[in-house]
């Protein structure tokens, strides 16, 4: 579902020392992480909040380094400790490897928060694109854990949250809009799930979902749940699909919430922490965010929503790339910081 260097994703820029931050590379249970620790202006014993960050890149691209500028900005501007997680990438490491790495790193940090000067009651998860998918999945997994502190919030930046329907209005309207084309969204999802994209056309045509599965999830994954104003740029309802039982079996795992968080049961959604969701108008994943916003609100979870009317997928990664910078990307990132500071 997601962005990467092959789509023009910003190249990694080598950055020098950060006067306001102390950066530390280490491993949490074998998972590489980078800590961004704000330097206090005056010595203080007060514990800080923390953000555990999962980078985007379609589960197959990008790294701690590619999102270094975003993590520095969040840590510096919010005064939070940021932990950026370098999870394993597909296709070499298929689902659920990335999810498991993010979960293990999060649990490790939560159990050792005070060692890093962090208040264990003020830890949030955050991610962009595929990282937003991973943040949502980790948040759901931890929602019912009695042996760990409750997450303070989840921050989902243009997340991809389902693979049941890639013909929602945003997929139709933005099918050819950079940086994430509709076909590339299916390609990335398949590499994460299967390690190859041989069934891309089946996914794009909706042949991969059985009638029973579609019926079960249509209450959550449906254009009827998307406000009409988001259909104004055009939407043609789906036609009857071909039925291919052999294909269904290959996609049974898309019902797992750790892969498609939008499909979690209400009993899980109700336990989720306060949430921030950022969507972009010119993004195939826009409607995933809108549908999850509705599910959270329907289940009583407070949601702060930021919609960038002139935004496109991965725009936040361009917030400080000189002539490639986009003001709305900076605006979106500042809304994330504002939300964090208000927790």
Question: Cis peptide leading into 137, omega within 30 of 0?
Answer: no
What residues have CB less than 8 Å from 99, skipping those under 6 apart? Answer: 134, 137, 138, 258, 259
Q: Which residues of 95-111 are buried (b: 16+ CB within 10 A; e: fewer)?
A: bbbbbbbbbbbbbbbbe
Pick the catalytic residue from 55, 199, 208, 313: 313
By CB neighbour count within 10 A (0-12 exposed, 13-18 middle, 19+ buried), where does 222 fall? middle
DSSP 226: S
Q: Which of 66, 84, 124, 129 is catalytic?
A: 129
| Annotation marks residue 313 as catalytic | yes
Cis geometry, peptide bond prior to residue 244 (ω within 30 degrees of 0): no
- What is the Cα–Cα distance from 212 to 196, expressed in whole angstroms? 25
CA angle 74, 77, 78 (to 5 degrees): 75
Q: What's the token pair of residue 261?
A: 């968080």
Which entry of 283, 287, 288, 328 is annotated as an active-site residue? 283
What positions carry a catalytic annotation?
A: 129, 283, 313
């Amino acid at each position: 579902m997601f962005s990467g260097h092959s789509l023009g994703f910003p190249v990694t820029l080598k950055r020098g020392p950060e006067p306001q931050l102390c950066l530390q590379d280490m491993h949490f249970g074998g998972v590489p992480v980078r800590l961004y620790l704000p330097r206090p202006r005056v010595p203080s014993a007060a514990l800080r909040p923390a953000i555990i960050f999962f980078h985007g890149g379609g589960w197959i691209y990008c790294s701690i380094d590619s999102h270094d500028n975003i993590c520095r900005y969040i840590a510096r501007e919010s005064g939070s400790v940021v932990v950026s997680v370098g999870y394993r990438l597909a296709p070499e490491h298929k689902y659920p490897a990335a999810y498991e790495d993010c979960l293990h790193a999060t649990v490790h940090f939560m159990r050792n928060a005070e060692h890093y000067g962090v208040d264990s009651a003020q830890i949030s998860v955050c991610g962009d694109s595929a990282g937003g998918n991973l943040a949502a999945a980790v948040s759901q997994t931890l929602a019912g854990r009695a042996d760990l502190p409750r997450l303070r919030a989840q921050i989902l930046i243009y997340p991809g949250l389902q693979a049941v329907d890639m013909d929602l209005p945003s997929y139709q309207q933005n099918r050819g809009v950079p940086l994430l084309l509709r076909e590339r969204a299916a390609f990335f999802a398949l590499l994460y799930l299967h390690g190859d994209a041989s069934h891309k056309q089946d996914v794009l045509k909706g042949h991969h979902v059985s009638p029973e599965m579609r019926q079960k999830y249509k209450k959550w994954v449906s254009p009827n749940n998307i406000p009409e104003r988001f259909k104004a740029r055009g939407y043609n309802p789906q036609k009857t699909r071909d039925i291919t039982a052999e294909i269904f079996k290959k996609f049974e795992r898309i019902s797992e919430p750790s892969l498609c968080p939008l499909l979690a049961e209400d009993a899980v959604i109700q336990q989720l922490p306060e949430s921030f969701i950022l969507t972009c108008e010119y993004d195939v994943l826009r409607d995933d965010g809108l549908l999850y916003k509705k599910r959270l609100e329907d289940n009583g979870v407070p949601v702060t929503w930021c919609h960038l009317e002139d935004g496109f997928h991965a725009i936040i990664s361009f917030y400080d790339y000189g002539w490639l910078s986009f003001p709305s990307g900076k605006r979106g990132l500042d809304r994330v910081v504002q939300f964090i500071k208000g927790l």
